[in-house]
Amino acid sequence: MPLLRLALASLANRRFTAALTAFAIAVSVCLLLAVERVRTEARASFASTISGTDLVIGARSGPINLLLYSVFRIGNATNNIRWSSFEHYAQDPRVKWAIPISLGDSHRGYRVMGTDHNYFEHYHYGHGQALELAQGRAFANDPFEVVLGAEVADALHYALGDHLVLAHGVAAISLVKHDDKPFTVVGILKRTGTPVDRTLHISLGGMEAIHVDWHNGMPARGAERISADQARAMDLTPKAITAMLIGLKNRVTTFALQREVNDYLDEPLLAILPGVALQELWSLMGTAEQALFVVSLFVVLTGLIGMLTAILTSLNERRREMAILRSVGARPWQIALLLVAEAGALAAAGIVAGVALLYVSIACAQGYVQASYGLYLPLTLPSAYECALLGLVFGAALLIGAIPAWRAYRQSLADGLTVHL
Amino acid sequence: MAAALIELHNLGYAWPGQPELLDLPALELGTGESLFLRGPSGSGKTTLLGLLGGVQLPDRGQVRLLGQDLAQLRQGARDRFRVDHTGYIFQQFNLLPFLSVRDNVRLPCRFSTLRLARAQQRHGSLEKATDTLLERLGLPSSLFDRRADALSIGQQQRVAAARALIGQPELVIADEPTSALDSDAREAFLRLLFEECQAGGAGLLFVSHDQSLAPLFDRAESLMDLNRATRAREA
């Protein structure tokens, strides 16, 4: 098509402005796609954090708070639940399995979770995937064994057999360490893309053992201290845990059991359906996520307005070009089409460069984003939705190109074959 | 007798909101004839060229090209008719600076299938036609693939002439094509233009304010004298 060739040649003649314009569009398109991809992945990884669990039970607070600390390891429990309450529900005939969760300690910024063998058998994420060990084994009878999430092992370069010391509390820098009772790495889990990757798992006995000589939140001193070997000989059944996850034999009983838990007389408890709480939580974050999307749409619009400005500015100095084209037989609508083609070419170049920029950015930032935010950004081809977005950007560019096209149409009708400049 | 190339009858034109600029009782150009039309700036020259190209339509009277009344064609058809039958050379800046010399010459054939067909018929191919014309107009072949704005003004005007002549339009309209050239180059350019118009059988309408060129043409007229509107203004 000769018109497109002419448009390209004319653009090449103004290659510096054209390249800048296309670059502005590229950056905006890259941002749009990046936001979109982060959004999609965040939602997907969010929804796949936990699956197969019918109820989460914790001390009475709010559903989102309970979900945050029990599943996402964000924030802290307001209160613990008694071990007797755990046993009460774990032994309920309707309950298929129960996972105890005990939180409160950390290791170099990563949360430590006390649990038992049920966790490795029954905890599921994604589409019903079970946890798998990449190396080693689950913790066994010795209380001072730890199983690392994939990211913890990666980031801190731990291997099987390494010893590590847990810190009391969950602050990133903790002054009080359980350095009298080091743990041995016995297993490393495969990557899941969920908060499990950022967790150190120890047995409930281990959790109990490191706190056995503590009083009022402070370690014992001098003769009152209990060594690791002494602790091994003690009864390490915990008195309280933070939360529990429950799987039922029959889902039909979910609501009945939830009501029972919420009305439990011995202790104020709260039972939530993780799916419902996830939805609630996402709808909270959804607003921010949508705001981000809208902002990126406006950035694209800004890029396109930049293009409009560049083309409109060039129109006046190109009146002669238009007149020459008219004199060799171009009709006014062909001149208009030429400008639309120009806008289209700029947008297409911008989109291609933007997608390239996105892939380069993802390739560079993938590791960092996964390590820092636990978000896996895949280097996949654009999805149908992303293609539709890009199509929308291209369509908008053509539409915006119609503005200078209309002006050029009017101009070339008025100027005719000769321009006196 | 075959229809004249250009026939103007009782032509009147005024730009909106302005007094009548052109009032031409008659002007004719025969097939293959060359006409020198003297017209200083402000004489309505540009407007007349617009009317001859069908860019504007007269308020009254007729413009006939090859017997065709331009007013009876629709806008798009007038554009097509213009490029099919007329080649233009302007004062300067005739070429698209970002295209090569060859691409500039071929431009009319991209918009007119008739001229493309004629060029192919006469020379075998568009490429051949382009190169032959450029060679005959004395442009060194080393320049053919250069960008148009890399050429001197004189060279550019020869390229413009080649572009006006490609595909053998019946009429070539030249608007001060030599004003940017020195007098030696001017005569040389004109001789080439005449030769090529003759070879292609094209009539030439040459508009200029430079009276000294007039004797080289078959016929010379003065727009000032023809245009009753100017005479009325002066009186």
Residue B226 near residue B45 (C-beta atoms within 8 A)? no
Q: Is residue A140 part of a domain?
A: yes
Where is the domain boundary, A248, A272, A296? A272
pLDDT at residue A214 greater than cutoff 90: no
Same domain, A29 and A75: no
SS3 at position A153: helix
Going from the N-terminus, what domains does chain B have, and what CATH number goes with each? 6-234 (3.40.50.300)
Q: Which residues pair with A130 in a beta bridge?
A: A124
**Alpha-carbon distances, residue A79 vs A73, A103, A241, A242 (angstroms):** 15, 11, 9, 7
* Co-location of A196 and A162 in the same domain: yes
Query: Is B95 within 8 Å of A2 when comparing Cβ atoms?
Result: no
Is residue A379, in this structure, part of any structural domain at all?
yes
Largest CA distance in chain A: 104
Catalogue the long-range contacts made by B112-121 (C-beta closer than 8 Å, 24 or more residues apart).
Answer: B112/A329, B112/B80, B112/B83, B112/B84, B112/B167, B114/B84, B114/B167, B115/B83, B115/B84, B115/B166, B115/B167, B115/B168, B115/B169, B116/B167, B117/B167, B118/B167, B118/B168, B119/B166, B119/B167, B119/B168
Q: Measured between CA atoms, how close is A333 to chain B, in angstroms?
A: 9
A301 and A263, same structural domain? no
Does residue A126 sit in the same domain as residue A23? Answer: no
Tell me the three state secondary structure of residue A282: helix
Say whether B83 and A420 touch across the interface (CB within 8 A).
no
The answer to the question of residue A383 being in a domain is yes
Contacts of B44 (CB under 8 A, 6+ apart): B13, B21, B22, B223, B227, B229, B230
| Residue-wise pLDDT tens digits, A258-272 | 999 999 988 999 999
Ramachandran assignment for B42, one of left (phi > 0), alpha (psi -120 to 50 degrees), beta (any other): left
Rounded alpha-carbon distances, angstroms, from residue A397 to A309, A367, A374, A403, B214:
12, 34, 36, 10, 53
Residue in A with minimal Cα distance to B80? A329
- Provide the pLDDT for residue A82: 93
Say if A206 falls within a structural domain.
Answer: yes
> End of a domain among A241, A272, A303?
A272
Residue B36 in 3-state DSSP? strand
First to last CA, chain B: 39
Q: Of A154, A151, A146, which is closest to residue A182 (Cα–Cα)?
A: A146
User: How many independent structural domains does chain A possess?
Assistant: 2
d(CA B88, CA B72): 22
Domain limit, last residue, from A205, A237, A272:
A272
ipTM at complex level: 0.85
Give the residue among A262, A278, A277 at the shortest CA–CA distance from A89: A262
- Residue A87 sits in the same domain as residue A199: yes
CB-CB neighbours of B126 under 10 Å:
20
Find the closest chain A residue to B77 by CA distance.
A331
Q: Which residue of B has its CA nearest to A333?
A: B76
Nearest to B83 among A328, A332, A413 (CB): A328
Helices B113-123, B126-136: inter-axial angle, 10-degree rounding: 80
Residue B235, exposed/middle/buried by CB under 10 A (0-12, 13-18, 19+)? exposed
Of B90, B111, B112, which is closest to A418 when you measure between CB atoms?
B90
Both A207 and A253 in a single domain?
yes
Same domain, A75 and A217: yes
Please indicate, yes or no, if residue A215 is contained in any of the structural domains. Answer: yes
* A233 and A313 in a common domain: no
Q: Does A38 fall in a domain?
A: yes
Identify the bridge partners of residue B65 per DSSP, sorted by sequence position.
B6, B68
Segments forming the whole domain that contains residue A10: 2-46+285-415
Check whether residue A140 and residue A250 sit in a common domain.
yes
Please give chain B's pLDDT, 235 residues, in tens.
Answer: 456 888 888 888 888 888 888 888 888 888 888 999 988 777 788 888 888 888 888 888 888 888 888 888 888 888 888 889 999 888 777 788 889 999 999 989 988 889 999 989 888 899 999 999 898 888 888 989 999 888 888 888 889 989 998 988 999 998 888 887 787 888 888 888 888 888 888 899 998 888 888 888 889 888 888 888 776 666 5
Is there a single domain that holds both residue A6 and residue A132?
A: no
Name the DSSP class of A196: G
In a shared domain, residues A387 and A249: no
Q: Is A279 contained in some domain? A: no
Does A277 map to a domain?
no
- Mark yes or no for CB contact A9/B175 under 8 Å: no
Query: Who among B49, B99, B112 is closest to A417 (CB)?
Result: B49
Q: Does residue A63 share a domain with residue A34?
A: no
DSSP A114-141: EE-HHHHHH-EETTTEEP-EEEE----S
Closest residue in A to B108 (Cα) is A328
